[in-house]
Amino acid sequence: MKLLSDDSPRGWLARLLVGLTALSLVAAPFLFPGAKALGVAEKIAVMAALAASYDVLLGYAGIVSFAHVMFFGCGAYGVGLALYALGPGWGAIGLGMLSGMALAGLIALALGAFSLRVQAIFFAMVTLAVAYAFNVLAAQWTDFTGGEDGRTFRVPELLRPGTHLPFGLTGRTLVYYLVLVGAAATFLVLLRIVNSPFGRVLQAIRENPLRAEALGYRIAIHRTLAVLVSALAAAFVGGLDALWLRYVGPDTALSFAIQVDVLVIVVLGGRGTLYGAVVGAAAFVMAENYLRALIAGAASATAGWPLLPNLLHPDRWLLWLGLLFILAVRFAPRGIIGESANRAKN
């Protein structure tokens, strides 16, 4: 059994995009100075790993779930509340990460045990209801979670922005690389899982569950394990993101906007490819942060033209983002990586 998967992106375009994204993230603190640029790079890393964990469900197992952001929130709240209650220590980080992942794992097992025997749409509705209840609980349990205001906490001194390290690094840069390494490790573990015999069984169940069951595979058990693996990965990534933000609250850890973003990233990059999560996250997060500025520049350049300045108003950047997504789905229905793999095959 190999430790790492030898599955590489298929097609020259896929290899180019994945390679450029990986190199840019590694060199981001030196190539793109500034707090905003580093924050964008951190979000790309987090969203890539989170979308990859969701692709295990949607792309490989064929399971539609709306509870993925809840698992992400379990990890974020686990780390955040542990540091808030126990103080800025490495032990608190470890305890919080394990607690968050354990809670996510228990919820995932419960969802799998009681819901995966029903039809897909009913399972999706159950996950939506559970995620909503978890969001409300976090927002209203003020004494424990901080309610809508959340909790701000301190991290170990080595990870604080004011800490200066050798080679021109700071504590903030160290946290970034900690998040990047954790996200990359999560991605590699998931890549190994989907290319294992277990991953092949998940794909067989996705394509024809009745045939897979006739061959002797326990569909409910495999789907439950898929939910469990996905939940543990999402919780781990959530804990890493909380370390970066030094804050945890419903808006940053349990917002349904995060769930929608993850779904868009998976579709944009390509379902059932995993590498699509990396490229999709880079494209989506970059558009989310810089499309508004590009539209503002275009509006200034067309100031004397009829209608265009109004259409290119910066406040309408979401409209243009939506149009770009529609075009991407129209001309690349398999996603960026999926289309690259299809062309390489042909």
Instruction: Specify the CATH number for the domain of residue 251.
Output: 1.10.3470
Kindly state the tokens that stand for 278. Answer: 């990396």
Residue 118: predicted pLDDT: 62
Helix (H/G/I), strand (E/B), else coil: 152: strand
What does the pLDDT read at residue 1?
A: 40
Q: Supply the DSSP symbol for 164.
A: B
Q: Which residues of 36-65 are buried (b: 16+ CB within 10 A; e: fewer)?
A: eebbbbbbbbbbbbbbbbbbbbbbbbbbeb
Handedness of CA 274, 280, 286, 289 (dihedral sign): negative
Residue 252 lies in a domain: yes
Mind listing the pLDDT tens digit of every residue in the chain (346 residues)?
Answer: 444 555 677 778 888 999 999 999 999 998 887 888 999 999 999 999 999 999 999 989 888 889 999 999 999 999 999 999 999 999 999 999 999 999 999 999 998 877 666 666 778 888 889 999 999 999 999 999 999 999 999 999 999 888 888 877 888 999 999 999 999 999 999 999 998 899 899 989 888 888 888 888 888 888 899 999 999 999 999 999 999 999 999 999 999 999 999 999 999 988 888 899 999 999 999 988 888 788 878 777 777 777 777 777 777 777 888 888 888 878 777 888 877 776 766 6
6 part of a folded domain: no
Question: Is residue 221 included in any domain, yes or no?
Answer: yes
Alpha carbon distance 187, 216 (integer Å): 30
Query: Is residue 192 assigned to a domain?
Result: yes
Give DSSP secondary structure letters for 13-44. Answer: HHHHHHHHHHHHHHHHHHHS-SHHHHHHHHHH
Report if residue 1 sits inside a domain.
no
CA distances from 343 to 55, 266, 339 (A): 21, 19, 6
Structural domain that includes position 281 = 12-345
How far are the Cα atoms of 205, 319, 324 from residue 115, in angstroms, in the given order? 16, 36, 36
Query: Looking at the domain assignment, is residue 5 inside a domain?
Result: no
pLDDT of 206: 85
Decide: 62 and 246 in contact? Cβ < 8 Å: no
Tell me the pTM: 0.92
Evaluate whether 40 touches 285 at the Cβ level (below 8 Å). yes
Alpha helices (H) along the chain: 12-31, 35-55, 68-86, 90-115, 120-140, 142-145, 171-194, 197-207, 209-214, 219-245, 250-253, 256-269, 275-301, 308-311, 317-331, 336-345
Does residue 309 sit within a domain?
Answer: yes
Residue 7 falls within a domain, yes or no? no
Domain count, the chain: 1
DSSP-based three-state secondary structure for 123: helix
Return the pLDDT at 120: 67
